[in-house]
Amino acid sequence: MYDVEKMQAFLRGRLSRERFAHTMNVAKECRRLAKLYGEDPDRAYFAGMVHDICKEDPRQQQLEWARLSDMGLCPEEEAAYKVWHGVAGAYFLRTHFGVIDEDVLRAVRFHTVGRSGMSLLEKIVYLGDMTSEERSYSGVEIMRRTCNESLELGMLYALRYALKKQLKRNALIPHYTLEAYNEYTRMFPENTYHI
């Protein structure tokens, strides 16, 4: 169903060496998490592999595709070029590769900002991106251990981490991220641990 070899060859030609390595590490991590949590490992591998497909496209191109997409680009995202590649990537996969699996498309679209009501695959791609082999931020080991115990608790830590970074940068917060944060904070009201 997913032509992994064709996609891998395409990405190798499209991405820098570092981004390609990241992409393959995320794919592997997504497959591992999928096996752990009962998602289809091949589908998760493919979704992880394509999550940054548009990351290195010219910003203007990313914005154009993100605007053309019908996947709900919000004004706060429109103000933050770093998240355009998720929405643009889902659009590109749908229009240029004929990907019709909405769950895969949403996993790509929301891997930057999260959302409330994320599917298992969406959580796997979001967290696979944060825990891939080459990641070395302080707290990554705790993040990895947490993801092995609970994807939901992993999402809470990941969202706190992302929000803290955005607040420090004086950035606007997309409502998707706030809604996701509220969802997981309600799930773990006693947990105040931060990575």
Contact 175, 75 (CB under 8 A): no
Q: How far apart are CA 103 and CA 125, in angstroms?
A: 11
Binding-site string for Fe ion from residue 69 to residue 108, where x marks contact by CB under 5 A and - marks none = ----------------------------------------
Angle CA 67–72–73, to nearest 5: 50
Q: Tell me whether residue 29 or residue 52 sits nearer to Fe ion (CB atom).
A: 52
Q: Tell me whether residue 38 or residue 58 sits nearer to Fe ion (CB atom).
A: 58
Residues 21-60 that bind Fe ion (CB under 5 A): 52
Min CB(128)–Fe ion separation in Å: 9
Min CB(23)–Fe ion separation in Å: 7
Is residue 129 near Fe ion by the rule CB under 5 A?
Answer: yes
**Residue of 168, 159, 148, 164 lying closest to 191 (CA atoms):** 159
Min CB(190)–Fe ion separation in Å: 31
Task: Tell me whether residue 100 is exposed, middle or buried, using C-beta atoms within 10 angstroms of its C-beta: 0 to 12, 13 to 18, 19 or more.
Answer: exposed
Q: How many CB atoms lie within 10 A of CB 31?
A: 23
Min CB(170)–Fe ion separation in Å: 21
Q: Tell me whether residue 127 or residue 156 sits nearer to Fe ion (CB atom).
A: 127
What residue has token string 């590490």? 25
Contact footprint for Fe ion (CB under 5 A): 52, 129
